[in-house]
Amino acid sequence: MGSLLYFSLIAFLLVLHPCFAKKTYIVHVKHHQKPSSYSTHHDWYDAQLKSLSSSSSNSESLLYSYDTAYPGFAASLDPHEAELLRQSDDVVGVYEDTVYTLHTTRTPEFLGLENQLGVWAGHTQQELNSAAQDVIIGVLDTGVWPESKSFSDVGMPDVPSRWRGECESGPDFDPKVHCNKKLIGARFFAKGYRMSSSSSFTNQPRQPESPRDQDGHGTHTASTAAGAPVGNASLLGYASGIARGMAPHARVATYKVCWPTGCFGSDILAGMDRAILDGVDVLSLSLGGGSGPYYRDTIAIGGFSAMEKGIVVSCSAGNSGPAKASLANTAPWIMTVGAGTIDRDFPAYAVLGNGKKITGVSLYSGKGMGKKLVSLVYNKDSSSSLCLPGSLNPKDVRGKIVVCDRGTNARVEKGLVVKEAGGVGMILANTVESGEELVADSHLLPAVAVGRKLGNVIRQYVKSGRNPTAVLSFGGTVVNVKPSPVVAAFSSRGPNTVTPQILKPDLIGPGVNILAAWSEAIGPTGLEKDTRRTKFNIMSGTSMSCPHISGLAALLKAAHPEWSPSAIKSALMTTAYNRDTTNSPLRDAEGDQLSTPWAHGAGHVDPHKALSPGLVYDIRPEEYIKFLCSLDYEMDHIQTIVKRPNVTCAKKFSDPGQINYPSFAVLFGKSRVVRYTRTLTNVGAAGTTYEVVVDAPPSVTVTVKPSKLVFKRVGERLRYTVTFVSNKGVSTMSKTTFGSISWNNAQNQVRSPVSYSWSQLFN
């Protein structure tokens, strides 16, 4: 009886809601086999869908037909229709839509980009500013809050004539009012989101379909990349000063592909497809999913098409650190960006009843607690210690400060849980996972975040004290904090599980406590119950570091319009620095230990040096095809990425690590010897000589031939071969070590990090 009732209910729902069984699928078609009887691919795809069923609903099944980013289309199908398509000779694969997630100032000064009239790579600042006005950054995210002063077009010339994009209208977005010579494009892609929300039984209201940012994340990332200078910017008084993007004279085009339930692969592909056709120069994506083969990775597939068109693709590495092998966006044609701290902090203090003063951070801006000590509580029960919703008993916490362990739920949500249970304050204490990393938040009640070591001091005090008490206070904004940068504990780590022979992330940029423009549709915490509104917000994540690199890539594009995306990436990587402001090696917030290239890649970006790198590792599209062939993918899978009719693997690398990458990931497998050849292109002066400097661990012998490179002219390409030998008798099983190879002269240091891994022991 029960099962009969269940199936009757399902049948009823299917009749009531015909979309119930339908999902979004991305269909890979043999693009180049379009019959001549169809004038466009769109018509061909539409006919294929109509042939599946006599139902009139199939006329609305085609959601997107992709032009450049993907060889195929996205459609709303039921499982039976999807299976029928899979059986078609014209179809390579049918894949369910995947959901990607967002990877959620002072940085211009920290990076040396303050508005001074110096000379960069033979360009004055004024010349660079003028050139940057021709560069267009496309940001795929949650949209834009166009009223923000960060998108003011005061003093900007007409939009470049080559621009083919536009601003789309919506119920809350008027292109004539909201777009200008700065914000030159604003589109939205919601068909994947619409299908998902129409076929799910959530109570979440549908967001209006328009380019407007209801979340804040997209406005923050777009203004970080290219926001115009705005004076007296702050978050409720914190980080007050001039807020500006990395390339403040560049143009911005936003593509809204992320919605309340996530960023759907079908919408992301449509956004990338349109951005490529519109004519962007840089694509910035602060979002990602898990790692998998490149032919199943929406961003990797769209990114390849962008790279072929000369577009730099910059993506966040993910916020799944400090776990190893936690990276997203690892394709070698993508810039994979991790996160570090800057030299600004927001100190806050907890004074304990025993007189001990604990220093942490906070962006709390409300009424203070005064000087009176109040009771301090900490419940080691798992849900209570994490301050999960519904876990706190008001009888236990009313009128008290609550110690909450960091992790599982959002930091700001913990504060709301404490407040709603009657608590008057919170100490957010790190656990092993977050180590000593401190991230400041604009909490709804007095709150201080502290590192693991001090958190343990507080936990022990509560546990052993007869009547534990504390009081919280707030210290505003301080700058010139040392050491900086420090790699953020949340920043995702290598090794690269998709292709271990490619070292990722590529580099790090500022990603902790970053001030940028914000949507006035939502409070600074993003919580529904946060009624505060602010024009700027402070956020942390690789979502924040990614647009820093996107903006810097735009500056390099302005200074060197002839450079390829791989040349721009190489310049940013090989000039990155590996020592902090105390001249010590970069440290990792996780465990307060030395960082490694699995966390920071080539190092922390250095814009000044990147503009004049001396030499670059350039990679042509054909070399990426040789790379893909070396992965032993099926030819259909390679064509998914490359999208050319006559791709062959007649030429392929014997090892993926042979690609001309600016870093090395050496895997010792069956052989103790690994040998790679690299090619360097001179983008500096004619008649320059470079000598190699090798830093290698004792377990490896490294030989570079030749050891000197003499470039007679600009644009000359010279090769070198490096041989890595795992020394006999060294116990290296399961251990990874690191080093570097640098080509140096008096003007430049062209440095490549090297990682060494062993899959077996040698005699």
Residues belonging to the active site: 141, 217, 543
Tokens of 737: 């070590």
Q: In sequence order, what are the beta bridge partners of 753? A: 740
What three-state secondary structure class fits 222? helix
Residues with Cβ < 8 Å from 406, sequence gap 6 or more?
A: 428, 429, 430, 431, 433, 434, 449
Complete DSSP assignment for 24-74: EEEEEE-GGG--TT-SSHHHHHHHHHHTT-S-GGGGG-EEEE-SSS-SEEE
Cα 426 to Cα 403: distance, rounded to the nearest angstrom: 6
Cα 402 to Cα 447: distance, rounded to the nearest angstrom: 9
Whether 307 contacts 275, CB under 8 Å = no
Cα 688 to Cα 680: distance, rounded to the nearest angstrom: 13
Where in 417-532 does DSSP place strands (E)?
Answer: 425-429, 447-450, 469-474, 478-479, 486-487, 507-510, 514-517
Which residue matches tokens 């399961």? 734
What three-state secondary structure class fits 252? strand
CA 694 to chain centre: 31
Give 187: exposed, middle or buried? Use CB within 10 Å, 0-12, 13-18, 19+: buried
What per-residue string of b and e applies to 679-711 under the rule 16 or more CB within 10 Å gives b? Answer: ebbbbbeeebebebebebbebbebebeeeebeb
Alpha-carbon distances, residue 591 vs 433, 435, 440, 487 (angstroms): 9, 5, 19, 11
- Closest to 282 (Cα-Cα) out of 139, 94, 176, 100: 139
Tokens of 526: 């993003």
Helix (H) or strand (E) holding 750: strand 749-758
Tokens of 301: 């597939």
Vertex 720 angle, CA 719 and 721, to 5°: 130
Whether 717 contacts 756, CB under 8 Å = no
Tokens of 392: 């706190």
Vertex 336 angle, CA 331 and 338, to 5°: 150
Strands 664-668 and 749-758: parallel
Cα 671 to Cα 234: distance, rounded to the nearest angstrom: 57
For the chain, the first-to-last Cα distance in angstroms comes to 69
Cα 442 to Cα 193: distance, rounded to the nearest angstrom: 30
Cα 311 to Cα 308: distance, rounded to the nearest angstrom: 7
The residue type of 562 is E
Alpha helices in 288-357 (DSSP H): 298-308
Cα 152 to Cα 157: distance, rounded to the nearest angstrom: 12
Cα 540 to Cα 543: distance, rounded to the nearest angstrom: 7
Helix (H) or strand (E) holding 271: helix 265-278
Alpha-carbon distances, residue 487 vs 229, 437, 586, 597 (angstroms): 27, 9, 7, 11
Alpha-carbon distances, residue 271 vs 283, 317, 555, 761 (angstroms): 10, 20, 23, 48
Cα 215 to Cα 217: distance, rounded to the nearest angstrom: 6
What three-state secondary structure class fits 308? helix
Whether 186 contacts 165, CB under 8 Å = no
